[in-house]
């Protein structure tokens, strides 16, 4: 069993068979295979056994039949021998003091009279005590007088008193010249008046008698041999298979070892010098159909129940598990913690799906909580940032200072404060991410007028704004950083008075805004670097507030167009930044 | 000349507005100012403004609440709401209020003047209309007998804790014009309506001060939750500040 287990393990461990269904079906196939083999083996065993039993039974019947026939025949011959014994001529012959040829002939005639009844009798020999004898017969016989005169030969016959013994070839003292075997019934002859033993009678029977006994048998080979194995009658080839083992007085069955389960049975009937050998033809024996039928039925039922089990497992377990895992995969692919809404059977697999769903819910909850927390943290941080610039504080301070300036008659100071207030009012406004162009322009005007306070006549501003675009919405604070850039990296660096020109006009369905300054200009590399999308100088951006690069990123993001911003420049002469923004709904946001 | 009232908790904001705008050129005159909505409600019947400039973020009663109250009682009053950008979204949510304009703080003179100019034109047109139709102001008030005055006094005594009552609200309550009520009240009681209301409140305040109550509790209790204005009223009525009064009471 161990090797089977090892083999199975090896089979299942070979990767490709990991699917439960495949494993299941292979186990089933294996069970069925095992079952079929067992079934076949059982069939063969039963077949062989039945065959053997049948063969034995048949052989015994046959042998008993043959034995009975022979015994019956022998009994007849014994009676005939007694008739001969009491024949007048024979009695005369036995009593006569002198034996003359006449008497001899008379006696032979007398015997032949009796023998006429039956023609299987080969010959009859009658010996007187003094050695005189007569014989009937058609052939030439050798008589072994030496053997006949030994005490043993006679003793055997005499021991039976009036009875007969049956021996081959006159108890091995009388042989036919032709070599034909004869069965001899030998008995002592007694005078019926004096009850004296007068001689010995040998009645020789031809083997034809035996041939008749076995001749009519079908479906089997029957052979009769003598005690020493000499063939007498029937199937001659069986005579070769004789051995002494058959001479036990019982029916002996022996496998002849030719590989075809041909059994040879042998029997030596009591009192006969013969062995009956018998071989039943194997084709005669059959396996009982009922047993096969029952076995087949069992096999069928077993196969059916296994298939049902397998299909149940496949349908009610494998299928749902497969669907479940598909649904889970789907969920994974979607990137969301979705609930599985595949219909599941109301069993352990359903429970699995429910558990998965509730786990998903739990995870979603945890995620939500984390997200909320993160949002809250962000909100707080934003608040902190916003709180750092408190407009109320700034405005109130501006108002107070403005009032003081007014009181003191410092009109210029008040004007500057007013502009600053206006600038911050627009600059710090929250909420609106998009504002009308005119408000952005106002921011720039305020910004530049404050800057002009610082840099005096070095900065001049000019505006060329088309009235039709005043209300176009643009992202807040996209122009101010450009103007700031013009001042700090253009005009101030140059060291001479410069002009910043801001123009805005419609162009097809776009709003085109340009910020032109007569500053130091930019090199091609600078322009490329500014327009590139790398973030290598992010730190610089952070330092200069909104920064030029950050603004460009915002504009590109807003317009979803890389070419929304273009820069042209001539070193030492000018820089012009040109924005192209698709016009959207207008109207004051306030 | 249009009468202007400025209501803002920041005194510098009020001052700046008064000095930075050339009111005379606009034919306007700043005739009153208040540091809170509470104070404004108490004095508005005396000030009788045509225009109220109201800051939106004020303690005790903010600009929105004040506007809600005032626009009902004084349908002819033109209101301009001042707001810092922070409150702008909030103010915008109140657009249903009958407000002439929302203005951003800090004020920019050019902007503010332009708005006032528009308002003046509107008011001019309205008065021209009224004048053209003839003077129909005379309100046929039902004769007010003494018992009605008593009823009104009782009403004040029962309701002075409501910080929103004033002459006009009570007049509307009883179905008289505020000027008639004011005149009749003075005839009958010898006191101004507002004086009487304040007297009621101060008498109660004096009782509470005697019980050593904190000022903010008292001011709330008597219907002047604006402690600054309450203090002003208290001093005017008793000649002492609230804390002095409490200390003096303790000594006795």
Q: What is the pLDDT of residues A474-532, one digit of tens each?
A: 888 888 889 988 988 888 888 888 999 999 999 888 899 999 999 888 888 888 888 87
Q: Kindly report each contact of residues A89-96 with a partner whose C-beta sits within 8 Å and lies 24 or more positions away, as own/partner.
A: A90/A126, A90/A189, A91/A191, A91/A192, A93/A126, A93/A128, A93/A134, A94/A126, A94/A128, A94/A189, A94/A191, A94/A198, A94/A199, A95/A191, A95/A198
The answer to whether residue B62 neighbours chain A at the CB level (below 8 Å) is no
Higher per-residue pLDDT: A286 or A163: A163
Per residue in B14-68, pLDDT tens?
999 999 899 999 999 999 999 999 999 999 999 999 999 999 888 888 888 999 9
Per residue in A294-317, pLDDT tens?
888 888 898 888 888 888 877 777
Q: How confident is the model at residue A431 (pLDDT cuts 50, 70, 90)?
A: low
Measured between beta carbons, the chain A residues lying within 8 angstroms of B88 are 429, 431, 590
* B183 belongs to a structural domain: yes
Say yes or no: B104 and B9 in one domain: yes
The answer to whether residue B108 neighbours chain A at the CB level (below 8 Å) is yes
Whole-number percent of chain A with pLDDT over 70: 88
Smallest Cα distance from B152 to chain A, Å: 43
Per residue in A18-44, pLDDT tens?
567 777 778 888 888 888 888 888 888
Task: Give the number of beta-carbon pairs within 8 Å between A and B.
Answer: 59
Higher per-residue pLDDT: A160 or A570: A570
Measured between beta carbons, the chain B residues lying within 8 angstroms of A398 are 106
**Residue in chain B nearest A400 by alpha carbon:** B12
Measured between beta carbons, the chain B residues lying within 8 angstroms of A421 are 106-108
- If we measure between CA atoms, which residue out of A227, A201, A210 comes closest to residue A123? A201
The answer to whether residue B104 neighbours chain A at the CB level (below 8 Å) is yes
Q: What mean pLDDT do residues A442-462 have? A: 88
Measured between beta carbons, the chain B residues lying within 8 angstroms of A449 are none
Q: Are B105 and A395 an interchain contact pair (Cβ–Cβ within 8 Å)?
A: yes
Say yes or no: B124 and B7 in one domain: yes
Among A403, A428, A430, the residue with its CB nearest the CB of B16 is: A403
Per residue in A199-249, pLDDT tens?
888 888 888 888 888 877 777 788 898 888 888 888 888 888 888 888 888
Last residue of a domain, one of B74, B104, B133: B133
ipTM summary value: 0.80
* pLDDT at A425 > cutoff 70: yes
Say yes or no: B125 and B198 in one domain: no
Q: Which CATH number covers residue B161?
A: 1.10.10.60
The answer to whether residue B20 neighbours chain A at the CB level (below 8 Å) is yes
The answer to whether residue A588 neighbours chain B at the CB level (below 8 Å) is no
The predicted pLDDT at position A293 comes to 84
Q: Kindly report each contact of residues A104-110 with a partner whose C-beta sits within 8 Å and lies 24 or more positions away, as own/partner.
A: A104/A134, A107/A134, A108/A134, A108/A135, A108/A136
Say yes or no: B177 and B118 in one domain: no
CA distance linking residue B60 with residue B43, whole number of Å:
16
Note which residues in 392-421 of chain A have CB less than 8 A from chain B: 392, 395-396, 398-400, 402-403, 406-407, 414, 418, 421
On the 0-12 / 13-18 / 19+ scale of CB atoms within 10 A, A214 is buried
Q: Which CATH number covers residue B128?
A: 3.40.50.2300
Say yes or no: B123 and B53 in one domain: yes
Say yes or no: B47 and B87 in one domain: yes
A584 secondary structure, DSSP code: -
The answer to whether residue B57 neighbours chain A at the CB level (below 8 Å) is yes
* B15 belongs to a structural domain: yes
**Residue in chain B nearest A395 by alpha carbon:** B106
Say yes or no: B116 and B169 in one domain: no
Last residue of a domain, one of B133, B166, B192: B133
Per residue in A1-12, pLDDT tens?
566 666 556 555
* pLDDT at A340 > cutoff 80: no
CA distance linking residue A567 with residue A564, whole number of Å:
10
Give one DSSP letter per residue of B129-195, joined into a string. Answer: HHHHH-------PPP--HHHHHHHHHHHHHHTT-TT--HHHHHHHHT--HHHHHHHHHHHHSS-HHH
Q: Are A402 and B106 an interchain contact pair (Cβ–Cβ within 8 Å)?
A: yes
Say yes or no: B166 and B195 in one domain: yes
How high is the mean pLDDT of chain A? Answer: 81
The answer to whether residue A47 neighbours chain B at the CB level (below 8 Å) is no
* pLDDT at A540 > cutoff 60: no
Smallest Cα distance from B145 to chain A, Å: 51
Write down the residue that tokens 């069925």 correspond to. Answer: A32
Q: Are A406 and B12 an interchain contact pair (Cβ–Cβ within 8 Å)?
A: no
Among A395, A430, A590, the residue with its CB nearest the CB of B106 is: A395
Q: Are B12 and A425 an interchain contact pair (Cβ–Cβ within 8 Å)?
A: no
Say yes or no: B87 and B178 in one domain: no
Q: Which residues contact A542 (CB under 8 A, 6 or more apart)?
A: none
* B246 belongs to a structural domain: yes
Q: What mean pLDDT do residues A61-68 have? A: 89
Say yes or no: B126 and B30 in one domain: yes
Last residue of a domain, one of B133, B160, B182: B133
Say yes or no: B180 and B93 in one domain: no
The predicted pLDDT at position A273 comes to 87
The predicted pLDDT at position A589 comes to 39
Whole-number percent of chain A with pLDDT over 90: 9
Q: How confident is the model at residue A16 (pLDDT cuts 50, 70, 90)?
A: very low
Measured between beta carbons, the chain A residues lying within 8 angstroms of B103 are none
On the 0-12 / 13-18 / 19+ scale of CB atoms within 10 A, A380 is exposed
The predicted pLDDT at position B51 comes to 95
* B89 belongs to a structural domain: yes
Per residue in A68-87, pLDDT tens?
988 988 888 888 888 888 88
Q: Are A429 and B105 an interchain contact pair (Cβ–Cβ within 8 Å)?
A: no
CA distance linking residue B209 with residue B234, whole number of Å:
11
**What distances in angstroms separate CA A360 from CA A109, A345, A347, A357, A372, one per listed residue?**
126, 20, 20, 5, 18
Q: Are A402 and B85 an interchain contact pair (Cβ–Cβ within 8 Å)?
A: no
* pLDDT at B139 > cutoff 60: no
The predicted pLDDT at position A251 comes to 86
CA distance linking residue A496 with residue A492, whole number of Å:
7
Q: Which residues contact A479 (CB under 8 A, 6 or more apart)?
A: A440, A441, A443, A444, A502, A513, A515
- Number of domains chain B is built from: 2
Q: Are A402 and B16 an interchain contact pair (Cβ–Cβ within 8 Å)?
A: yes
Higher per-residue pLDDT: A379 or A587: A379
Terminal CA-CA length for chain B = 52
Q: Are B20 and A396 an interchain contact pair (Cβ–Cβ within 8 Å)?
A: no
The answer to whether residue A109 neighbours chain B at the CB level (below 8 Å) is no
The predicted pLDDT at position B222 comes to 93
Q: Are B85 and A430 an interchain contact pair (Cβ–Cβ within 8 Å)?
A: yes
Q: How confident is the model at residue A287 (pLDDT cuts 50, 70, 90)?
A: low
The predicted pLDDT at position A152 comes to 80
Q: What mean pLDDT do residues A103-122 have? A: 81
Q: How confident is the model at residue B92 (pLDDT cuts 50, 70, 90)?
A: low
The predicted pLDDT at position A587 comes to 44
Measured between beta carbons, the chain B residues lying within 8 angstroms of A435 are none
* pLDDT at A281 > cutoff 80: no
Q: Which residues span the domain enclosing B69?
A: 2-133
Q: What mean pLDDT do residues B211-216 have? A: 90
Q: How confident is the model at residue A464 (pLDDT cuts 50, 70, 90)?
A: very high
Say yes or no: B72 and B179 in one domain: no
Q: Are B106 and A407 an interchain contact pair (Cβ–Cβ within 8 Å)?
A: no
């Amino acid at each position: 069993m161990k090797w089977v287990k090892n083999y199975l393990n090896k089979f299942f461990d070979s990767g490709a068979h990991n699917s439960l269904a495949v494993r299941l079906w292979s186990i089933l196939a294996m069970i069925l295979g095992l079952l079929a083999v067992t079934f076949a083996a059982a069939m063969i065993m039963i077949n062989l056994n039945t065959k053997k039993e049948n063969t034995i039974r048949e052989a015994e019947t046959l042998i008993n039949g043959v034995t009975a026939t022979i015994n019956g025949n022998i009994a007849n011959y014994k009676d005939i021998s007694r008739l001969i014994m009491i024949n007048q001529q024979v009695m005369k012959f036995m009593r006569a003091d002198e034996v003359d040829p006449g008497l001899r002939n008379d006696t032979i005639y007398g015997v032949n009279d009796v023998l006429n009844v039956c023609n299987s009798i080969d010959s009859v020999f009658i010996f007187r005590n003094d050695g005189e004898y007569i014989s009937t017969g058609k052939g030439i016989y050798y008589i072994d007088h030496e053997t006949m005169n030994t005490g043993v030969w006679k003793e055997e016959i005499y021991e039976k008193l009036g009875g007969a013994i049956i021996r081959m070839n006159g108890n091995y003292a009388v042989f036919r010249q032709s070599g034909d075997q004869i069965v001899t019934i030998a008995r002592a002859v007694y005078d019926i008046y004096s009850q004296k033993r007068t001689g010995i009678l040998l009645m020789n029977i031809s083997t034809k008698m035996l041939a008749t006994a076995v001749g009519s048998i079908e479906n089997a080979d029957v052979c009769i041999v003598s005690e020493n194995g000499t063939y007498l009658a029937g199937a001659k080839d069986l005579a070769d298979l004789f051995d002494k083992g058959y001479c036990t007085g019982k029916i002996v069955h022996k496998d002849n070892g030719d590989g075809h389960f041909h059994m040879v049975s042998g029997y030596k009937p009591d009192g006969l010098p013969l062995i009956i050998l018998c071989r039943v033809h194997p084709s005669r024996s059959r396996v009982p159909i009922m047993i096969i039928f029952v076995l087949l039925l069992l096999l069928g039922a077993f196969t059916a129940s296994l298939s049902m089990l397998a299909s149940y497992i496949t349908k009610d377990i494998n299928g749902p598990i497969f669907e479940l895992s598909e649904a889970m995969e789907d969920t994974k692919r979607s990137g969301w913690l979705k609930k599985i809404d595949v219909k599941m059977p109301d069993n352990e697999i359903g429970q699995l799906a429910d558990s998965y769903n509730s786990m998903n819910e739990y995870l979603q909850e945890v995620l939500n909580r984390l997200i909320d927390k993160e949002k809250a943290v962000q909100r707080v941080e934003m608040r902190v940032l916003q709180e750092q610039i408190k407009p109320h504080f700034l405005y109130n301070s501006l108002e107070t200072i403005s009032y003081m300036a007014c009181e003191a008659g410092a009109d210029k100071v008040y004007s500057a404060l007013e502009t600053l207030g206006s600038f911050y009012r627009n600059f710090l406004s929250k909420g609106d991410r998009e504002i009308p162009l005119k408000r952005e322009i106002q921011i720039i005007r305020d910004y530049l007028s404050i800057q002009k306070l610082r840099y005096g006549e070095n900065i001049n501003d000019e505006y060329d704004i088309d009235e039709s675009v005043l209300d176009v919405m643009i992202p807040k604070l996209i122009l101010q950083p450009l103007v700031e850039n013009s001042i700090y990296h253009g005009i101030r660096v140059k060291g001479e008075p410069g002009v910043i020109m801001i123009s805005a006009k419609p162009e097809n369905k776009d709003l085109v805004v340009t910020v032109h300054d007569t500053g130091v200009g930019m090199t091609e590399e600078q322009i490329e670097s500014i327009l590139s999308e790398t973030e290598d100088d992010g730190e610089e951006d952070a330092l200069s507030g909104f920064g030029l690069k950050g603004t460009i990123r915002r504009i590109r993001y807003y317009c979803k167009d890389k070419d929304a911003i273009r820069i042209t420049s001539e070193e030492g002469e000018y820089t012009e930044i040109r924005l192209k923004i698709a016009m959207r709904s207008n109207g004051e946001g306030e | 000349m249009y009468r202007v009232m400025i209501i803002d908790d920041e005194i510098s904001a009020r001052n700046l507005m008064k000095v930075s705008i050339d009111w005379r050129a606009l034919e306007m005159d700043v005739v009153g100012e208040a540091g809170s909505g509470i104070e404004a409600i108490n004095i508005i019947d005396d000030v009788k403004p045509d225009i109220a400039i109201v800051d939106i973020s004020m303690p005790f009663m903010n600009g929105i609440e004040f506007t809600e109250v005032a626009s009902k009682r004084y349908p002819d009053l033109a209101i301009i709401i001042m707001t810092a950008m922070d409150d702008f979204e909030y103010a915008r949510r109140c657009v249903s209020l009958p407000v002439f304009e929302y203005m951003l703080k800090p004020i920019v003179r050019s902007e503010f003047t332009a708005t006032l100019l528009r308002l003046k034109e509107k008011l001019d047109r309205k008065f021209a209309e009224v004048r053209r139709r003839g003077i129909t102001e005379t309100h046929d008030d039902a004769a007010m007998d003494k018992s009605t005055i008593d009823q009104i006094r009782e009403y004040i005594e029962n309701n002075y804790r409501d910080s929103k009552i004033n002459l006009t609200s009570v007049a509307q309550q009883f179905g008289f014009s505020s000027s008639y009520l004011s005149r009749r009240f003075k005839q009958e009681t010898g006191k101004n309506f507002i004086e009487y209301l304040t007297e009621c409140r101060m008498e109660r305040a004096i009782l509470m001060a005697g019980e050593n109550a904190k000022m903010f509790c008292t001011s709330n209790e008597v219907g002047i939750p604006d402690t600054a204005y309450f203090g002003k009223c208290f001093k005017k009525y008793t000649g002492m500040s609230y804390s002095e009064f409490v200390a003096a009471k303790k000594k006795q």
